[in-house]
Amino acid sequence: MNKLTLKNVSKSFGSFKVLDGINLEVTDGESLAIVGPSGTGKSVLLKCILGLIPIDSGEIWIEDKCVISKDHNDSEKYPGFFGMLFQGSALFDSLPIWKNVAFGLIYGQGMDEKTARVLAMETLDKVGLSKKVENLYPFEISGGMQKRASLARALVMKPQMMLFDEPTTGLDPMMLSVINQLIADTIRKEQVTAMTVTHDMSCLSAVAGRIILLYKGKIIWEGSKDAFFTTQDPHITQFRQGAIEGPFSL
With CB under 6 A as the contact rule, the residue among 4, 18, 24, 33 that binds ligand ATP is 18
CB of 44 to ligand ATP, least distance (A): 4
CB atoms under 10 Å from CB of 170, counted, come to 16
Are 145 and 119 within 8 A, CB to CB?
A: no
Closer CB to ligand ATP, 155 or 197, in the complex: 197
Pairing of the two strands 82-85 and 65-69 = unpaired
Is residue 247 within the footprint of ligand ATP (CB under 6 A)? no
Is residue 249 within the footprint of ligand ATP (CB under 6 A)? no
Closer CB to ligand ATP, 54 or 79, in the complex: 54
Torsion of CA 225, 231, 233, 234, to 10 degrees: 100
Find which of Mg ion, ligand ATP, none residue 143 binds, CB within 5 to 8 Å per kind.
none
Is residue 41 within the footprint of ligand ATP (CB under 6 A)? yes
Q: What's the distance, CA 108 to chain centroid?
A: 20
What is the footprint of ligand ATP within residues 77-106 (CB under 6 A)?
Answer: 87
Pairing of the two strands 57-62 and 2-13 = antiparallel
What is the footprint of ligand ATP within residues 150-169 (CB under 6 A)?
Answer: none
CB of 39 to ligand ATP, least distance (A): 4
CB of 125 to ligand ATP, least distance (A): 29
How far CA 120 is from CA of 42, 114, 171, in Å, comes to 29, 10, 21
- From the list 75, 133, 140, 77, the residue with the least C-alpha distance to 101 is 133
Total number of residues shown for the chain: 250
Closer CB to ligand ATP, 36 or 104, in the complex: 36
Find which of ligand ATP, Mg ion, none residue 39 binds, CB within 5 to 8 Å per kind.
ligand ATP
Interaction site with Mg ion (CB under 5 A): 42-43, 87
Is residue 39 within the footprint of ligand ATP (CB under 6 A)? yes
Find which of ligand ATP, Mg ion, none residue 13 binds, CB within 5 to 8 Å per kind.
ligand ATP
CB of 78 to ligand ATP, least distance (A): 22
With CB under 6 A as the contact rule, the residue among 13, 25, 54, 109 that binds ligand ATP is 13
Torsion of CA 201, 204, 210, 211, to 10 degrees: -40
Q: Is residue 231 classed as helix, strand or coil in its secondary structure?
A: coil
Are 23 and 2 within 8 A, CB to CB?
A: no
CB of 47 to ligand ATP, least distance (A): 8
In the DSSP assignment, the letter for residue 64 is: T
Using CB under 6 A, list all residues that contact ligand ATP: 13, 18, 36, 38-44, 87
